[in-house]
């Protein structure tokens, strides 16, 4: 049985001077435990009880993590929301989850209150907590008790609330701590958002379960990251972190000498970035794969080959299979639907039992991702099922084309989509971003693809852009690209 996150917090706090934050205002685990008690007592004083939902919409700060842990202690369901969302977008979460309390930055709190929802500003909540006792009597909790609701990004419709239990979080974090060899001597450089599973659960829970310290940065800045690397032993990031750092001449082996592990996730890491990072720093980035509904699913190993272009092996205790359209498991080398089962898999979508049932095949969660295992058991992600391009009756996996494009000189990033075509049904289209100082030539790029891809996979159009549309975690918003270029072949 995995160690409960609050149990691990109390264990670390028993060593009075064990550091929690190494920021300008440092804090110990004992400080953190007391702060969570004060906030938990405050929430009880406000009438919140076990099972109530608390919505948080605030800019990243250490107090966000303190409130998350206070909710865990009190049994209150934590519901973080991207602070960039408009009030109209946030209204969906308020209506759907019916939180007993919304906590937000001051201006946003007033706007939420004007909708009729109960709301308080985060600074006011913290001020009230300062007067509360630093001791809290935690109620009894069960492994299946709901710990958090995270809403999906909603790129294909209304956002759905993903229900995650205490065991979903603790078991997955314990597996990662063991696999990635976290210890209480580690210092995690944390520059990720904390409204998303990567920054809130993967990063924070690994630190909590191992008793590691955090360098907690409010956002990603190459200057701040490079200044902090000499103190850090582990960094978690999204691919854009690594590509931006690679463009900085200060990134050297010496700058990374104190770090033992660089981890990437939330979006595909290109093999070119993996190779460039290893040449520049001497480190092989460890890429892993997960999603909101499942926490982490696979990881390249700590000890062993970290294969560029793959997301590694299934985590211990997590079962992963690749299936055909009828659910039959496929052998290595064959592409199909990625399905997962294990203690990491969520308990369903909030108030959507029919949708929950539709996403499972027996006990297997159908991720919506396409992939294939190689002969060594490493998984490669080939894209989302909805992103599969069927052109002239033939399947084209965007990730394969993107990998070939990213290997060509002068290409910094690519996104391959399918758009309607009168002859082929769909046409393969590539959106490309040139590397700094480079000019891309369509004729040269096509020539470079001919020895790499079958003719039907080569994009019928190449579109050159200054940047690709991405969400807060760096994932390319292909739905937006498909909408933008949907009519490009309509006059043929």
Asked if the model's pLDDT at residue 453 lies above 80, the reply is yes
Multiple choice CATH, 388-484, 1.10.10.10, 1.10.579.10, 3.40.47.10, 3.30.300.30? 3.30.300.30
Within the chain, all domains assigned CATH 3.30.300.30 are found at 388-484
pLDDT band of 452, cuts 50, 70, 90: confident
pTM of the model: 0.89
Query: Over the stretch 84-129, which tens digit does the pLDDT of each residue have?
Result: 888 988 999 999 999 999 999 999 999 999 999 999 999 999 999 9
pLDDT at 156: 46
DSSP bridge pairs for 339: 321, 366
pLDDT at 153: 64
For 5-179, give the CATH class.
alpha beta
Q: HSE of 454 in the Cβ direction (CA atoms, 13 Å)?
A: 8
Query: Over the stretch 432-443, which tens digit does the pLDDT of each residue have?
Result: 999 999 999 999
Superfamily of domain 220-384: ANL, N-terminal domain (3.40.50.12780)
Query: Over the stretch 28-77, which tens digit does the pLDDT of each residue have?
Result: 999 999 999 999 999 999 999 999 999 999 999 999 999 999 999 999 99
Using a CB cutoff of 8 Å and minimum separation of 24, what contacts does 480-487 make? 481/415, 481/417, 481/431, 482/417, 482/418, 482/419, 485/417, 485/419, 485/429, 485/431, 485/461, 486/419, 486/420, 487/420
Within the chain, all domains assigned CATH 3.40.50.12780 are found at 5-179, 220-384
pLDDT band of 386, cuts 50, 70, 90: confident
Helix or strand (DSSP H, E) at 484: helix 478-484
**Mean confidence (pLDDT) of the chain:** 94
pLDDT at 240: 86
């Amino acid at each position: 049985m995995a160690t409960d996150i609050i149990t691990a917090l109390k264990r670390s706090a028993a060593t009075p001077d064990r550091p929690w934050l190494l920021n300008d205002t440092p804090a110990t685990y004992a400080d953190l435990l007391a702060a969570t008690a004060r906030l938990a007592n405050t929430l009880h004083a406000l009438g919140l009880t076990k099972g109530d939902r608390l919505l948080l919409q605030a800019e990243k700060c250490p107090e966000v993590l303190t409130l998350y842990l206070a909710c865990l202690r009190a049994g209150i369901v934590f519901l973080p929301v991207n602070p960039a969302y408009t009030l109209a977008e946030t209204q969906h979460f308020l209506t759907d989850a019916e939180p007993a309390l919304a906590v937000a930055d001051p201006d946003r709190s007033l706007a939420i209150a004007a909708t009729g929802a109960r709301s308080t500003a985060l600074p006011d909540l913290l001020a009230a907590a300062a007067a509360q006792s630093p001791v809290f009597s935690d109620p009894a909790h069960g492994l299946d008790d709901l710990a958090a609701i995270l809403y999906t990004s909603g790129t294909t419709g209304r956002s759905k609330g993903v229900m995650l239990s205490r065991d979903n979080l603790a078991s997955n974090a314990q597996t990662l701590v063991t696999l990635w060899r976290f210890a209480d001597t580690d210092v995690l450089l944390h520059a990720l958002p904390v409204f998303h599973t990567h920054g809130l659960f993967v990063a924070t829970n690994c630190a909590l379960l191992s008793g590691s310290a955090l360098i907690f940065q409010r956002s990603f800045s190459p200057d701040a990251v490079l200044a902090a690397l000499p103190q850090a032993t582990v960094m978690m990031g999204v691919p854009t972190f690594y590509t931006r750092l690679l463009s900085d001449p200060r990134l050297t082996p010496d700058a990374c000498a104190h770090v033992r592990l660089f981890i990437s996730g939330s979006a595909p890491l290109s093999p070119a970035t993996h190779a460039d990072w290893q040449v520049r720093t001497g480190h092989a980035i460890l890429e892993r794969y997960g999603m909101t509904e499942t926490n982490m699913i696979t990881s390249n190993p700590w000890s062993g080959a970290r294969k560029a272009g793959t997301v590694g092996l299934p985590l211990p205790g997590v079962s992963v299979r690749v299936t055909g359209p009828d659910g039959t498991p496929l052998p290595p080398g064959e592409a199909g639907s990625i399905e997962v089962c294990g203690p990491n898999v969520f308990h369903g979508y909030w108030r959507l039992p029919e949708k929950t049932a539709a996403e499972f095949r027996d006990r297997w969660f159908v991720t919506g991702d396409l992939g294939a295992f190689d002969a060594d058991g490493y998984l490669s992600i080939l894209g989302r099922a909805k992103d599969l391009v069927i052109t002239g009756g033939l399947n084209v996996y965007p990730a394969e084309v993107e990998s070939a494009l990213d290997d060509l000189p002068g290409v910094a990033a690519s996104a391959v989509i399918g758009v309607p075509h009168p002859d082929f049904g769909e046409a393969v289209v590539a959106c490309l971003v040139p590397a700094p100082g480079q000019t891309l030539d369509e004729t040269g790029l096509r020539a470079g693809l001919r020895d790499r891809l079958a003719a039907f996979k080569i994009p019928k159009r190449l579109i050159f852009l200054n940047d690709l549309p991405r969400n807060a975690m760096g994932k390319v918003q292909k739905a937006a690209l498909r909408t933008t270029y949907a009519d490009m072949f309509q006059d043929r």
